[in-house]
């Protein structure tokens, strides 16, 4: 199935329902204009331009606290590690480190960014189904806390690296074995990771073999197991089944239960709350795992998605073939989730969120991007009041994977990232320039 249907909402939403998709604390002025983190969108557009990715800093910190405090209250000595592929931005790494979260990385670039942001290397978990020797060397030299064993080649490379380390015999590197539990949640095929046939991890018989090898190693220290079954999962039951699967492999000091909780992108989405998710995971851990074991979780999408809002300006409005096309100055260059996964996003005219005096629901529109591709659609079937060129369009719940997947299609410049809090805004990533597009060219 797709992450979410691209079909239109059955009825136009109320303004309050629309606000429910924006970061908690988002308000509107008397004239209907949005305020993100207390900042009016008109001022944000004037100062930072469009398109832009806005992040409500207070909402992100609050979400991190709900995860960290909630897990600690349920399972002492647990750790929340941000699945940073969802938003690998130095300022986000820094903010979440300040909130006491660890980080999981899925490549050398993410590792470099996390360390540059001041993340404690001991709180870094290294992932990847195809870890190069240079990536593993950088992780070992940085002193990362855990490296996740995804295959037998990981064991060979790590043992070789540890054997070649200069000077006195180095400490044994802590590792986890990634288990493929043969659990398939109800989500898009591209983001399922725990089923038989996945490129990630080891099925139970292979995991047992890896465990035996690691227990016999003098250079690698087997701390425990890792499991992750996918992303944008809207039910807790598959997570519980994954815990039961890894419990079959024995008793270990550490169990990393991964992430994957879904975000609420549309009016119809009903993901479990952070608290319900933590209740389900820790109840399963209490029942099935050793009492003293350390539990780690790796939220990504559900941690950062709702704090982000993409802001665009309408370039043209075209009524053709029975449809109203509202074309904006961004698109699949800054939000690839729609063409890639079929993810649905809602949208609003950012300066006219409150219902008009006549109560009219607005016009049913297709919000499209500026890229030379028919699949460049941001949101289909949304109701917008009298859309016209120059309007600002706000798309909520874009804090996860939009920045990660941003690209230069049609040589577009990737947009800035702007943190908003208490009525003040600050860019943390600048907009690309045309010079940036040519910076790597050779004569």
Residues 280 and 317 reside in one and the same domain: no
pTM for the predicted model, two decimal places:
0.94
Q: What is the CATH number of the domain that holds 344?
A: 2.40.37.10
- Residue 273 placed within a domain: yes
CA 248 to chain centre: 30
Residues 116 and 233 reside in one and the same domain: yes
pLDDT at 197: 78
Residues 42 and 119 reside in one and the same domain: no
Residues 316 and 288 reside in one and the same domain: no
Positions marked active-site? 372
Residues 258 and 400 reside in one and the same domain: no
pLDDT at 6: 43
Cβ 260 vs Cβ 230: under 8 Å: yes
Domain boundary among 270, 299, 328: 299
Residues 119 and 181 reside in one and the same domain: yes
- Residue 10 placed within a domain: no
- Residue 83 placed within a domain: no
How many other CB atoms are there within 10 angstroms of residue 438's CB atom? Answer: 9
- Residue 4 placed within a domain: no
Cβ 87 vs Cβ 77: under 8 Å: no
* Chunked mean pLDDT (size 10), the chain, 443 residues: 45 77 93 94 98 98 98 96 98 98 98 98 97 97 97 97 76 94 75 77 95 96 95 92 94 96 94 97 97 96 98 97 96 95 94 69 92 96 94 98 97 98 98 97 96
- Residue 434 placed within a domain: yes
What is the rounded CA–CA span in Å between residue 340 and residue 380? 15
pLDDT at 171: 79
**Residue ranges making up the domain that contains 243:** 88-299
Residues 322 and 186 reside in one and the same domain: no
Residues 377 and 312 reside in one and the same domain: yes
Residues 197 and 267 reside in one and the same domain: yes
Q: What is the CATH number of the domain that holds 133?
A: 3.20.20.10
- Residue 401 placed within a domain: yes
Domain boundary among 299, 325, 344: 299
Domain boundary among 278, 299, 320: 299
Residues 261 and 113 reside in one and the same domain: yes
Residues 165 and 311 reside in one and the same domain: no
- Residue 64 placed within a domain: no
- Residue 81 placed within a domain: no
Count: domains in the chain? 2
């Amino acid at each position: 199935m797709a992450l979410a249907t691209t079909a239109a909402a059955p009825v136009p939403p109320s303004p309050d329902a629309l606000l429910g998709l924006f970061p908690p604390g988002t308000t509107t002025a008397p004239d209907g204009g949005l305020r993100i983190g207390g900042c009016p969108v008109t001022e944000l557009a004037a100062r930072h331009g469009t398109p832009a990715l806005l992040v409500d800093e207070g909402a992100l910190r609050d979400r991190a606290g709900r995860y960290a405090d909630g897990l600690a209250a349920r399972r002492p000595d647990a750790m929340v590690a941000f699945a940073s592929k969802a938003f690998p931005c130095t300022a986000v790494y820094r903010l979440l480190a300040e909130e006491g979260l660890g980080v999981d990385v899925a490549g050398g670039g993410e590792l470099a960014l996390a360390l540059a942001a001041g993340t404690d290397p001991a709180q870094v978990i290294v992932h990847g189904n195809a870890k190069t020797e240079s990536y593993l060397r950088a992780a070992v030299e940085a002193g990362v806390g855990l490296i996740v064993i995804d295959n037998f080649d990981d064991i060979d490379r790590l043992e070789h690296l540890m054997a070649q380390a200069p000077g006195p015999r180095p400490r044994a590197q802590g590792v986890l074995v990634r288990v493929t539990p043969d659990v398939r949640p109800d989500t898009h095929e591209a983001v399922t990771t725990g089923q038989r046939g996945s490129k990630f991890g080891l099925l139970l018989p292979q995991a047992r073999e890896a465990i035996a090898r690691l227990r016999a190693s003098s250079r690698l220290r087997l701390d425990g197991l890792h499991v992750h079954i996918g992303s944008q999962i809207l039910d807790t039951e598959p997570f519980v089944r994954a815990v039961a699967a890894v419990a079959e492999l024995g008793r270990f000091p550490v169990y990393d239960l991964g992430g994957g909780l879904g975000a609420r992108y549309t009016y119809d989405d009903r993901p479990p709350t952070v608290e319900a998710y933590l209740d389900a995971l820790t109840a399963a851990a209490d029942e099935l795992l050793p009492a003293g074991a350390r539990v780690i979780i790796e939220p990504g999408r559900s941690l950062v998605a709702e704090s982000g809002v993409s802001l665009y300006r309408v370039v043209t409005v075209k009524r053709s073939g029975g449809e109203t096309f509202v074309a904006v100055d961004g698109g699949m260059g800054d939000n690839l989730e729609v063409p890639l996964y079929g993810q649905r996003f809602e949208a609003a005219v950012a300066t006219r969120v409150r219902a008009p005096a006549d109560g009219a629901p607005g016009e049913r529109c297709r919000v499209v991007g500026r890229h030379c591709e028919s699949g460049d659609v941001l949101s289909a079937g949304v109701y917008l009041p009298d859309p016209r060129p120059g309007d600002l369009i706000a798309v909520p719940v874009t804090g996860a994977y939009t920045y990660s997947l941003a690209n230069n299609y049609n040589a577009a410049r990737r947009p800035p990232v702007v943190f908003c809090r208490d009525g003040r805004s600050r860019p943390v990533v600048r907009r690309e320039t045309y010079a940036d597009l040519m910076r790597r060219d050779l004569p």
